[in-house]
Amino acid sequence: MNTVSVDLSLDQIRRAVRQLPAQEKIALWRLLDKDLDRPAIARQFTLSVNSIRKAYAHISEDEVMKDAVKATRQVRKSRHAKSRS
């Protein structure tokens, strides 16, 4: 039996997967889904959220929302400027 080694970037894999027919994408998704360690992902997510909450506990919800609205406006403005060029 021969072994083949392929060195592809994540971007190359993404482009190749996008070219697959829908049924093959579904089959690939099911195959990859079985490899996920959902409890580990949930633990990592919880740790991240708790870390963020702890780091920003001294900042009010109003201030957070004001920053979120400001950031959203900046992104929309930059996207609008790019689409016009």
Residues 25-45 have pLDDT tens digits of: 999 999 999 999 999 999 999
The answer as to whether 34 is a domain residue is: yes
| Of 20, 24, 40, the residue nearest 32 (C-alpha) | 24
By CB atoms closer than 10 A (0-12, 13-18, 19+), residue 72 is exposed
The answer as to whether 5 is a domain residue is: no
Domain span including residue 57: 10-84
The answer as to whether 46 is a domain residue is: yes
pLDDT of residue 85: 65
CA–CA–CA angle 44, 45, 50 (5° rounding): 100
The answer as to whether 74 is a domain residue is: yes
The answer as to whether 72 is a domain residue is: yes
How many Cβ atoms are within 10 Å of 25's Cβ, its own excluded?
Answer: 13
Domain count, the chain: 1
Q: Tell me: pLDDT of 56 over 70.
A: yes
Structure tokens at 32: 């990859």
> Which has more pLDDT, 44 or 84?
44
Q: Tell me: pLDDT of 83 over 80.
A: no
The pTM assigned to this predicted structure is 0.49
The answer as to whether 71 is a domain residue is: yes
